[in-house]
Amino acid sequence: MAGSNKTVKTGAAPAGFREAALFTLVTILFGCGIEILTSGGGIDVPGWPFNLIFLLLFGGSIVAVALLFRERPMVSWLGGIPLGLSLIIGIALLSLVGGVLPQEEYPAGSIMTVLRLNGMFSSWPFALVTLIFLINLGLSLVWKTIPFRAANLQFMLFHGGFWLALSCGLLGNSQLERLVVPIYEGKASNVAYDNKTEKVIHLPFAIFLKDFQIDEYVAQFALYDPQHDVVIEPKSKLMPELHKGVKAEWEGIGSVTVLDYLPDALPDAKGMPVPVGDKKGVRFAKVRIDENGKISETWISSGSEALQIKPLFVPMGGYYIVMADGPPKAFRSNVMLIGDGGERKVARLEVNKPVDMQGWMLYQMGYDEKAGRYSTMSLVEAVRDPWLPAVYLGFFMIMAGNVLYFWKGVKKMEEA
Amino acid sequence: MTLVDFPAIAFAAVSCWVAGSLLQIPARSNKALGTLSWVFMIAGTGVLTWFLTSYWIALERPPLRTLGETRLWYATLIPVVGFIVEYRYKIVWLKYYCMGLAAMFLGINYMHPDVFEKALMPALQSPWFVPHVVVYLVAYVMLAASCVAGWHNVILGFRNKRSSKSESMSHYLALLGFVLLTFGLIFGALWAKEAWGHYWTWDPKETWAFISWLAYLGYLHLVARKTDSRKLQWYLGLSFFVLLVCWFGVNYLPSAQNSVHTYSG
Ligand code: HEM
- Chain B nearest-CA distance from A270, in A, is 35
- Claim to verify: residue A411 and residue A281 sit in the same structural domain: no
pLDDT in tens, B196-242: 999 999 988 899 999 999 999 999 999 988 888 899 999 999 999 88
pLDDT in tens, B102-155: 999 999 889 887 766 778 888 888 888 888 988 998 999 999 999 999 999 999
Domain range for residue A189? 177-213+330-382
- Claim to verify: residue A127 and residue A49 sit in the same structural domain: yes
**Crossing angle of the two packed helices B94-111 and B31-59, in degrees rounded to 10:** 40
- Claim to verify: residue A72 and residue A138 sit in the same structural domain: yes
Per-residue pLDDT, B28: 85
Per-residue pLDDT, A14: 43
- Claim to verify: residue A310 and residue A190 sit in the same structural domain: no
- Chain B nearest-CA distance from A268, in A, is 32
Asked, for residue A5, whether it belongs to a domain, the answer is no
Beta bridge partners of B32: none
Under DSSP, the state recorded for B86 is: H
Beta bridge partners of A353: A350
What whole-number distance in Å separates Cα of residue B151 and Cα of residue B237? Answer: 5
Cβ B69 vs Cβ B75: under 8 Å: no
Work out the angle at residue A171's Cα, subtended by the Cα atoms of residues A167 and A177, and round it to the nearest 5 degrees.
Answer: 135
What whole-number distance in Å separates Cα of residue B252 and Cα of residue B264? Answer: 12
Strand A319-324 and strand A220-225: the pairing is antiparallel
Asked, for residue A97, whether it belongs to a domain, the answer is yes
What whole-number distance in Å separates Cα of residue B191 and Cα of residue B206? Answer: 12
Residues 27-66 of B with CB under 8 A from A: none
What whole-number distance in Å separates Cα of residue B214 and Cα of residue B224? Answer: 15
The verdict on A329 touching B (C-beta cutoff 8 Å) is yes
Asked, for residue A82, whether it belongs to a domain, the answer is yes
- Claim to verify: residue A144 and residue A192 sit in the same structural domain: no
Cβ A322 vs Cβ A220: under 8 Å: no
Work out the angle at residue A247's Cα, subtended by the Cα atoms of residues A245 and A251, and round it to the nearest 5 degrees.
Answer: 170
Size (chain B), residues:
265
Say whether A413 and B257 touch across the interface (CB within 8 A): no
Cβ A35 vs Cβ A99: under 8 Å: no
pTM assigned to the model: 0.88
- Claim to verify: residue A400 and residue A313 sit in the same structural domain: no
> Quick one: pLDDT band at residue A7, thresholds 50, 70, 90?
very low
Contacts of B65 in chain A (CB under 8 A): none
Cβ A306 vs Cβ A374: under 8 Å: yes
Work out the angle at residue B265's Cα, subtended by the Cα atoms of residues B75 and B68, and round it to the nearest 5 degrees.
Answer: 20
Nearest CA to ligand 1 atom 15: B224
Atom number of ligand 1 nearest to Cα A85:
30
- Claim to verify: residue A340 and residue A370 sit in the same structural domain: yes
| A188-194 β-sheet, strand order | A344-350, A328-339, A199-216, A188-194, A177-184, A377-384, A360-367, A355-357
Output the average pLDDT for chain B: 88
Under DSSP, the state recorded for B247 is: I
- Claim to verify: residue A36 and residue A164 sit in the same structural domain: yes
Name the domain count of chain A: 3
- Claim to verify: residue A30 and residue A164 sit in the same structural domain: yes
Size (chain A), residues:
416
Interface ipTM above 0.95 = no
- Claim to verify: residue A59 and residue A145 sit in the same structural domain: yes
| Model confidence at A147: pLDDT above 90 | no
Work out the angle at residue A150's Cα, subtended by the Cα atoms of residues A145 and A154, and round it to the nearest 5 degrees.
Answer: 75
**Crossing angle of the two packed helices B67-89 and B129-158, in degrees rounded to 10:** 60
Q: Is the peptide bond before A107 cis (omega within 30 degrees of 0)?
A: no
Asked, for residue A9, whether it belongs to a domain, the answer is no
Cβ B66 vs Cβ B124: under 8 Å: no
